[in-house]
Amino acid sequence: MEKIIQKTWDYIWDRLYDDRTGMFYNHLAGDDAHATKYLPEPEMIRLLIPNPAGYGTGMEDCMLNAGLMMDAVIARYEATGDASMREYAAKICKGLILGASVSHKKGFLPRGVSPADCSSHYIDTSRDQYTDWLWAAYRLYYSPLADDAQKESLRKCIILMAEKFEAEVIAENDWNFLREDGKIGVAGKMWGDINPHEFLRLPMLYLLAWKTTGNVHWHKKYIEYRDIAVQRSMEYVPLSGPTYAALQMQYSMRMVYDLDDDEHVRASLLNMMEKLADPYERLSVNEATNIMTPEGKQWLEIPYSVWQKSRFRFAGVWGGMGYFVPEPSDFREHQSYYPLRAVGEGIVIAATCPSRRISKATLTQLCNVIDFVDYEKHRTCAPIALLEAYWLAMRSDQLK
């Protein structure tokens, strides 16, 4: 199994990661291509082609990938004590800091940054990008792999984000943080009429700002939102939405559970984390079974189309701008990504719960899926979630 895990590791670092930005990009458009080969040029990005968020371009989820991969690196260190993980954590940290500091608008976190000039980026982002960035920052900050300089840089970024959200996530903006151009974007709503899995995303930022700086102002902001956020989070129904939504909720609950001293809050969050763990571990096993078929093998090897040659779908207007999204030439492009990603995410949801242990049967099924993927022909970033799941499960206290 060690060789298979290494192949997965090499695929991610060799074909998805770019050292110029310290970021992992989304997919490959050919067997011999790197994930950055068909990214939009800086001039296209400046003109917001194809849309203000960069949806469909291959650089729209760099911060999500950073959250999962940082978790994988730190879990590998926790499982093995491998000191070389410090180098890999630093590589990811480089991307975290670039992403959080590249904008002229302090606290704005783009989805990804172009490696062509290490500065070009789209003007719209999402609460999910912030959530996974914060998870990556939290995991590194409180691990033995972080040095003082990295901690200081992360603190500065966290404070800028907290200041941005304090200024913008207000009733006048319908509780949205704003795009880089000061307008409301697609997925920036942090409070009010949002889903249960989204309520802790705002207070988790203020909590991390407080804990990393000691500034009581951020403690007050955290307490302002905490109790309602915890209460509304309890309304989430497992399996009622995408696996990644439950994963981000689990990240936010675990961070608050670890950093908040209130035993009532911690007990409520632990109870909810436990409610998510069982159904998502079962989902992971079921998805793995569905993938490991002759048809699933074909799906995992579907070529990704070059976005510049795709047909565009009009998705709507936000902040006075139209969003045109490149469409896959083959609907199975999604089938090569989301089910495989869900296998890893389901196990990560379970493993992130502090009272949960992953069964050896589940680990075996995960290993079977990892081995099932042909990394010479697969083209998505979904294996990042598989790797995260594997190393979280391999920690000595995580298997039953």
CA torsion sign, 157 to 253 to 380 to 60?
Answer: negative
Pick from 229, 192, 236, 185: nearest CA to 207: 229
What are the residue ranges in the chain where pLDDT is below 50? none
Please report, for the chain, the start and end positions of each structural domain, with discontinuous segments joined by +.
2-394
Nearest to 358 by CA among 343, 347, 374: 347
Name the nearest CA neighbour of 103 among 179, 176, 163. 179
- CATH among 3.40.50, 2.50.20, 1.10.287, 1.50.10 for 2-394: 1.50.10
Q: Enumerate residues 6+ apart whose C-beta is below 8 A from 372.
A: 291, 292, 296, 297, 300
Can you list the alpha helix ranges (DSSP code H) found in 214-262? 216-233, 243-259
pLDDT in tens, 125-144: 999 999 999 999 999 999 99
In this predicted structure, what is the pLDDT of residue 400? Answer: 64
Specify the pairing of strand 184-189 against strand 176-178: antiparallel
CA–CA gap between residue 45 and residue 114 (Å, rounded): 9
pLDDT tens across 19-37, in order? 999 999 999 987 778 999 9
Burial of residue 148 (number of CB atoms within 10 Å: 0-12, 13-18, 19+)? exposed
pTM, to two decimals: 0.97
Q: Which amino acid is at 387?
A: L
d(CA 75, CA 238): 25
288: three-class secondary structure by DSSP: helix
Longest Cα separation, the chain: 57
| Whole-number pLDDT of residue 75 | 98
